[in-house]
Amino acid sequence: NAGVIQTPRHKVTGKGQEATLWCEPISGHSAVFWYRQTIVQGLEFLTYFRNQAPIDDSGMPKERFSAQMPNQSHSTLKIQSTQPQDSAVYLCASSLDPGKVFFGKGTRLTVV
């Protein structure tokens, strides 16, 4: 069990460019979560899938952020027209037992 796999680990984009972050949840886990973590804002919920269906995207900035889960083995978070304030560590997590969430190592996004 390799755990939750996130790629890339680090990404640098220019302001206005698009960034796509990938997540492979633990096999068999039915729930996938995306979070964003910064020193200032702490751990922020973005969106949540259960059995590939979007359940709650209340934390997603509506205009430029989107997330998909096309199959049970991966999810993507896409940020269009990246801005410096999007710089953060983006964490993907998965769970089988609701509440017991396993996090990936994160993708550190830097927008310059």
> Which residues here bind other proteins, judged by CB under 8 A?
31, 33, 42-43, 45, 48, 50, 55-56, 91, 98-106
Residue 96: which residues within 8 A CB-CB, separation 6 or more? 26, 28, 29, 30, 31
Minimum distance, C-beta of residue 17 to other proteins, in the bound complex (Å): 26
Minimum distance, C-beta of residue 94 to other proteins, in the bound complex (Å): 12
> Which lies closer to other proteins via its Cβ, residue 16 or residue 55?
55
Minimum distance, C-beta of residue 30 to other proteins, in the bound complex (Å): 10
> DSSP characters for 35-83?
EEEETTTEEEEEEEEETTEEEE-TTS-TTTEEEEEEETTEEEEEESS--
> Which lies closer to other proteins via its Cβ, residue 50 or residue 74?
50
